[in-house]
Amino acid sequence: MDFGLTREQAMVRGAAREFAQKGIAPTVGDDERGHCYNDKIVKEMAKLGFFGFIAPERYGGTEMGYLAATIAAMEIAKESPSYGVTFNLQMNAIQSVLLAFGTEEQRARYIPPLISADAYGCFALTEADTGSDIASMLTTAREIDDGFVLNGSKMWISGVPVATVGIIYAMTDPEKRHRGMSAFMIDMQTPGIEQCAITEKLGLHSSPTGEIVFADVRVPRDAIVGKPGDGFKIAMHMLDRTRLSCAARSAGVAEKCFDLAKHYANERQQFGQSIINFQMIQDQLARMWCEHEAAKLLVFKAAWMLDNLEKVGGRPTLQISTAKYYGAEAAVMAANEAMKIFGSYGYGTEYPIERFYRDAKSYQIVEGTSNIQKTIIARNFFEEKKG
Ligand SMILES: Cc1cc2nc3c(=O)[nH]c(=O)nc-3n(C[C@H](O)[C@H](O)[C@H](O)COP(=O)(O)OP(=O)(O)OC[C@H]3O[C@@H](n4cnc5c(N)ncnc54)[C@H](O)[C@@H]3O)c2cc1C
């Protein structure tokens, strides 16, 4: 289904699908089993222009927009949720922030190498003791004459330990809580920064995740993005974009699980017939179909809104959180149902179902948990009391 995609958007989908099938699928099983992050794949994605959808041409981008970006992310995630994460690290997190809040110098310095994958990005909000409640973060940035000194640590950060640049959130005025948070664009080789990998996790084994420690890290004044105290506003802007990508990837995983399960149900014979003849299998497939179709449409709508902010007249946070919540739940549901339809073969590693089952769980956590998305959605339900 083309869903009114432009010719260019349809070409992006074709290129992403082809690359996912030819450039990622042949090695994805071995890479995941070996916990191998293959930067050649990221560089190939860069060559295809996958990290340039939101930036103008003068920085090396195409400015095709968020709908194109979500279509590409969806296709990559169908083969590898791990390499799907790179859309946020190379593009949605850092570029969107610098384009909206950065200086010309910051944009010119950081965006081109992220688009070409000569730099590897990360964004760091989460800490060991603060996840959903980001305003309680403990990492500080103390102002000094010529800049800031960062101290603290970040946990569960995608792209670590291979990140070369990062957008780091820290408190410049902790007592003011969310009004005292600031964002910094930082070279990860700055003295005092240590990156360590988290080696044991459920899935996304080709997507590095780790911890960053900041010990008296001196950064120049021009490392700050926007003004001191702008960090929370910047983080919300960023999360709208990173959540949308997450929603797109989860819709891709839901669709892939459906496709694999449908094919298997046609092939697998029990009681002298294909198991797709059994009504209970049809029920499972029908529900998986509805869930992934709904997830995809919510993603397309939210992406279209982000690309048409002047028509929409305001931030489409409600639609993005709706797509993120629904997509994550649809991916987990579809992977779970696919596991059942595949029986023992789902539990084994011959088919990728167990990998999608593990990877899909991340979508319910990252970029704000499913509960947090429901909280954001429900904020819109309070009616003003009269009188
Ligand atoms: C693979 C992976 C990659 C990640 N990558 C990054 C990254 O690149 N950068 C980054 O900054 N972070 C990253 N994270 C961290 C992720 O964003 C956080 O884990 C997430 O925001 C949840 O925080 P938490 O784990 O501390 O859970 P908590 O906030 O401790 O939540 C625990 C539980 O309580 C619930 N809960 C909390 N508050 C409420 C509330 N108000 N109402 C209802 N329920 C609530 C949550 O839904 C959850 O079920 C990553 C995490 C993973 C697993």
pLDDT of residue 383: 86
Rounded to the nearest angstrom, the distance between the alpha carbon of 59 and the centre of ligand 1 is 33
Per the listing, tokens 């349809």 go with 10
**Band of pLDDT at residue 387, cut at 50, 70 and 90:** low
Rounded to the nearest angstrom, the distance between the alpha carbon of 369 and the centre of ligand 1 is 6
Mean pLDDT of all residues belonging to the chain: 97
d(CA 288, CA 293) in angstroms, rounded, equals: 8
Rounded to the nearest angstrom, the distance between the alpha carbon of 247 and the centre of ligand 1 is 16
Please give all residues whose beta carbon lies within 6 A of any atom in ligand 1, as ranges: 122-126, 131-132, 156-158, 204, 209, 362, 365-366, 368-369, 371-372, 375
Tokens of 28: 């994805």
d(CA 172, CA 384) in angstroms, rounded, equals: 35
Rounded to the nearest angstrom, the distance between the alpha carbon of 289 and the centre of ligand 1 is 28
Rounded to the nearest angstrom, the distance between the alpha carbon of 60 and the centre of ligand 1 is 33
pLDDT of residue 377: 98
pLDDT of residue 2: 59
Q: Identify which of 156, 184, 379 to mutate to test ligand 1's pocket (most ligand atoms within 8 A of the CB).
A: 156
Contact between 99 and 226 (Cβ < 8 Å): no
Which atom of ligand 1 is found nearest the CA of 129?
26
d(CA 68, CA 290) in angstroms, rounded, equals: 23
Nearest CA to ligand 1 atom 26: 131
Per-residue pLDDT tens digits for 72-105: 999 999 999 999 999 999 999 999 999 999 999 9
Contact between 227 and 305 (Cβ < 8 Å): no
Residue 330: helix, strand or coil by DSSP?
A: helix
Per-residue pLDDT tens digits for 293-351: 999 999 999 999 999 999 998 899 999 999 999 999 999 999 999 999 999 999 999 99
Q: Helix axis angle, 370-378 relative to 317-342, nearest 10°?
A: 140
Q: Which residues pair with 37 in a beta bridge?
A: none
Q: Identify which of 126, 129, 154, 367 to mutate to test ligand 1's pocket (most ligand atoms within 8 A of the CB).
A: 126
Which atom of ligand 1 is found nearest the CA of 122?
8
Which atom of ligand 1 is found nearest the CA of 132?
29
Percent over 70 (pLDDT), the chain:
99
Nearest CA to ligand 1 atom 22: 131
- 293 in active site: no
Residue partners of 263: CB distance under 8 A and separation at least 6: none
pLDDT score of 287 more than 80? yes
